[in-house]
Structure 1
Amino acid sequence: MPTMTRIENDHLSVDVSSLGAEMQSMTTRDGAEWLWNGDAAFWTGRSPVLFPIVGKAPDDTILIDGKPHAMAQHGFARRREFSLTTASDTLCRYSLEASGETRAVYPFDFLLTVEHSLDGPTLTVAAEVENRGTSAMPFGFGFHPAFIWPLPGAAGKPHVVTLDNGGEPQRQPLEKGLLSQGRTASPFSAGRLVLSPDLFIDDALVFPEGAGSGLTFQAEGGPALAFRFENLPNLALWTKPGAPFLCVEPWHGTAAEYGGSRELKDRPSTTMLAAGAQARFAFTVTFPV
């Protein structure tokens, strides 16, 4: 059975499960819960870690050097039991090593470490991927945290996502869960997107580039969450229409392209990690005080 680790300080309390190293709760000192509760009526996830792919593969199958391997959407890490390697009042670190089961679908020796840490009103979630093999290792990686929408105390207020860079990144629509070949005009205006459930009728909003390294998710005249991203050039925003959550998803890697190559190494933004090398990915979110 999964176990739970709690980290906390004077501002925040965060619970992390050993299953998928996934956050289960994110509470501020006033008792407000900010993380989606995983209600199965909409979506059972809360903050899954995506590895070794982000998004879908055609027929849930990837090719590695021409050989097919079964791979469910967003990869297997979120369904694996991690080992707790470090724990303190304000930090916990979980790790997942390659095993016979993972090598059967992803034939690489890896170590995936996921760390949650608190510093004042800021939570940092960082991941490190190590290639323990002797050849280059392709993979995608992403974070998928879901925050309640409306934010605490902001029912009835318009909610907005504002990009730090003021950009207007083009959207790449999804077709049967895969990236379409073309792009469409940005829903952002001068970096600002007023949220509406109708935006998500055709699935997630995926921005392959141009969204920058930070954004704010806020209620007008109400609370705001400030995000910063490290080594995560792709961005998605997602909810199920009518569901009371918004996923802010920074990625390094995306779904396969519809009609494109099925090779993992050919997926957009795939990382090719050299033997013995490590790659780090992280996001921070700062809460109102």
Structure 2
Amino acid sequence: MPVATTISSPELTVTLSDLGAELQSITTATGDELLWHGDTAFWGGRAPILFPIVGRGPDDRIAVNGQEAPMRQHGFARHAMFERAEVTPDSCSYVLRDSADSRAAYPCAFRLTLHYRLSGPTLSVSAEVTNTGDSVLPFGLGFHPAFAWPLPGAGDARHQIRLANGAEPALAHLQDGYLMPERAPSPFAGGILPLHHGLFDRDALIFPDGAGEALIYSAPGSAAPALHFAFHNTPNLGIWTKPGAPFLCIEPWHGMAARAGAGPEIADRPDSLLLNPHATATFGYSLRVV
């Protein structure tokens, strides 16, 4: 059975699970819960780690150098039991290594390490992917945390996302889970996206590039906390909910779903990485509660 681990700072308390190395709770000192609670009536996830793919493959299949196998959307890491490598009062690390089971679907040698650390009102999350084999490692890596919408204390206030770079990045849509080549006009105006459920009638909002390295999720004019995000090595951004569901996913990725009509090779997916033998790539985000 999964084991829960709790870390804390004076401002935040975070609970984590060995299953998927997944966040389970982010609670403020006043007892407000910021993370989605995983109600399966809408969506049972909370903050899954996406590896070795982000999004779907054609007919839910992937291939590595022509070796093809089934793989569910977002990969297998979110369903895997991680090993806790280190725990302190304010930090926790998890490790997942390739196994006979993983190699049956993904014939690659790897080590995936997740680090969670609290410092005051800031939670830092990082992922390290190490190629422990002798062949190039193709993969994508993404974070998929879901937050309360509305935020605690927001009342009826309108929520928004504000990009730190003030940009208006072009929008990509999914069709049946596959990335469409066309780009739609940006829903951002001057870097601000007012949130409403109608935005998600066509599934997630995907910004392949241009969203920048920081944003704020907030309900201006209310008593709700503002969530300040900073991203590292995650050029793609997804924003998603199920229409009517009380959560909002803010998803920094390096890699996206397969293009519509494309083949199953992971290396051919948009923004997939090709990691040389014995090299390590690092990705992450921080969340500061203000």
- Range class of TM-score, shorter chain: over 0.9
Whole-Å Cα distance in 1 between the matches of residues 188 and 167 of structure 2? 7
Equivalent residue number for residue 186 of structure 1? 186
1:40 is paired with a residue whose SS is: coil
Amino acid in the other structure paired with 2:243: P
C-alpha contact (below 8 Å) 2:55/2:256 kept by paired residues: yes
**Normalised TM-score (structure 2):** 0.98
Equivalent residue number for residue 111 of structure 2? 111
Equivalent residue number for residue 232 of structure 2? 230
Equivalent residue number for residue 144 of structure 2? 144
2:211 is paired with a residue whose SS is: coil
2:138 is paired with a residue whose SS is: strand
Equivalent residue number for residue 124 of structure 1? 124
Q: Which runs of 5 or more structure 1 residues have no equivalent in the other structure?
A: none
After superposing on structure 2, the runs of 4+ consecutive aligned residues of structure 1 that deviate more than 3 Å are none
Whole-Å Cα distance in 2 between the matches of residues 197 and 249 of structure 1? 17
Cα deviation for residue 261 of structure 1 reads: 3.1
Identity %: 51
1:254 is paired with a residue whose SS is: coil
For 1:202-241, list aligned pairs within 5 A: 202-222=202-222, 223-241=225-243
Task: Say which is worse superposed, 201-210 or 216-225, in terms of deviation.
Answer: 216-225
1:211 is paired with a residue whose SS is: coil
Aligned-residue Cα RMSD (Å) equals: 0.6
Equivalent residue number for residue 11 of structure 1? 11
Whole-Å Cα distance in 1 between the matches of residues 136 and 87 of structure 2? 32
Whole-Å Cα distance in 2 between the matches of residues 90 and 54 of structure 1? 29
1:135 is paired with a residue whose SS is: coil
C-alpha contact (below 8 Å) 2:255/2:270 kept by paired residues: yes
Whole-Å Cα distance in 2 between the matches of residues 172 and 202 of structure 1? 11
Whole-Å Cα distance in 2 between the matches of residues 63 and 131 of structure 1? 17
Equivalent residue number for residue 42 of structure 1? 42
Equivalent residue number for residue 2 of structure 1? 2
Whole-Å Cα distance in 2 between the matches of residues 66 and 109 of structure 1? 17
**Normalised TM-score (structure 1):** 0.99
C-alpha contact (below 8 Å) 2:58/2:263 kept by paired residues: no
1:6-38: per-residue Cα shift (whole Å, max 9, x none)?
000100000000000000010000000000000
Equivalent residue number for residue 24 of structure 2? 24
